[in-house]
Structure 1
Amino acid sequence: MTAEPTAAGHPTGRSRSQHQRRKRILQAAAALASRGGVEAMQMRTVAERAGVALGTLYRYFPSKMDLVVAVVNEEMDTLEASLDRRPPTSDTAAGRAVEVLTRATRGLMREPELADALIRSLLLSDVQTDLGDRMAGMLAKVADRDALLSEEQHVLLRALSSVWIMEMIEMLRGRAGNEQIQDRLEIAAERLLAGF
């Protein structure tokens, strides 16, 4: 649900309260998932913790997976805002892409239980999510700042975002450490983005 602006461009009182309610729900869901995974993110518990009626929660998020997707999108919004405030500084497209992926990894790994819950849920669910596309879009913004990207370049960026998702899974499963992930992402970015 988005806030309806008034004629002056400011949200109305009602839409502001809806926005705040939605934010409380997402914060409650993320807090629960960070302590006990998606299993702890029971709709009734989320509603209680957010201070809203269960019916209200279902109006905002018809299913648990819709809620999970919204929490992921909130994380992506945070990353995107940080990239706007502080753009990557590397001289190469591959270097800038790795900076974005490193920030994304750090952001998610601040709450490893939450990251694990969100990524597993998104991989195992039938709910459509644009995690890979959102990441590819952020990579596109920093890859070639001055030119329009070709369809092939977009495919390569999507492939790099898929590599990142798989590396996150490896890290969350304890099969790779931060340095290994960093090295792999650098190699993948250099190969995939060599023509940028």
Structure 2
Amino acid sequence: MAVQAASGTMSRSQTQRRKRIVQTAAALAVRGGVDAMQMRSVAERAGVALGTLYRYFPSKMDLVVAVVTEELDLLEGGIVRRPPTADTAAGRAVDVLLRATLGLMREPELADALVRSLITAEVRIELDTRICDLVWRVATDDLTNLPVGEEVSDAPVDRDSTGYVLIGSLISVWIFELVEVLKGHRDVDEVERRLHITAERLLASF
């Protein structure tokens, strides 16, 4: 049975062990991408038994998601500390996506891990929802209830609304642009231009 991820269900030592595993996996990903995150290598470098690693992360993709989630935690924390100041929903949404892009481009292998996890069926819903919720709250200028890390917001998000669907469409464009950057077909300035054009059209009614 997998160890529960939420800090409230783990002891302090379990939480520290899990964090060490994720940090080890992230370090391997930075050097060699998802392919370098072999479960046996992660276990050896983190100083845990392979069976212990699998109790925390039943599959390699679970571990990839944990690494990517830490990056999202950092992004959310930065947004809470320094919220976007654009006057429009489109401008605020693009600000978030550009911050994410610039952060990921500092570690292209982690960017590759994010893209792979976002296009993998079994984890797409989880990460898509996390990113869409973040951009939605920023675009609608509702940061008062923005959850950070493992905190959970009580503020409802209407994921069936037209606005939320449009945010999802913008996220899909952003993922495609990330792929183009990783291929060397785009630079960040071009991504910014394209995101602004797309966001201004999609979110004009916000």
**TM-score by structure 1 length?**
0.88
User: Structure 1 residues 132, 121: closer, same or farther in 2, change over 3 A?
Assistant: closer
The answer to whether structure 1 residue 25 and structure 2 residue 25 are counterparts is no
**TM-score by structure 2 length?**
0.84
Aligned to 1:171: 181
Q: Shift of the alpha carbon at 1:122?
A: 4.0
Higher alpha-carbon deviation: 65-74 or 114-123 = 114-123
State how far apart, in whole Å, the 1-side matches of 2:85 and 2:53 are.
Answer: 41
* 1:119–1:169 Cα contact (<8 Å) kept: yes
One-letter amino acid matched to 1:127: E
State how far apart, in whole Å, the 1-side matches of 2:40 and 2:114 are.
Answer: 19
One-letter amino acid matched to 2:170: L
User: Structure 1 residues 115, 182: closer, same or farther in 2, change over 3 A?
Assistant: same
- Gaps in structure 2 of 5+ consecutive residues: 143-156
The answer to whether structure 1 residue 89 and structure 2 residue 93 are counterparts is no
Aligned to 1:187: 197
Aligned to 1:2: 6
* 1:25–1:47 Cα contact (<8 Å) kept: yes
State how far apart, in whole Å, the 2-side matches of 1:159 and 1:78 are.
Answer: 23
Higher Cα radius of gyration: 1
2:53 aligned to 51, 57, 75, which one? 57
- Secondary structure (helix, strand or coil) at the match of 2:8 reads coil
Identity %: 62
State how far apart, in whole Å, the 1-side matches of 2:34 and 2:25 are.
Answer: 9
Q: Shift of the alpha carbon at 1:47?
A: 0.8
Q: Shift of the alpha carbon at 1:135?
A: 1.6
- Secondary structure (helix, strand or coil) at the match of 1:90 reads coil
Q: Which runs of 4+ in 1 moved over 4 A?
A: none
- Secondary structure (helix, strand or coil) at the match of 2:122 reads coil
1:38 aligned to 29, 34, 37, which one? 34
- Gaps in structure 1 of 5+ consecutive residues: 6-13
* 2:29–2:37 Cα contact (<8 Å) kept: yes
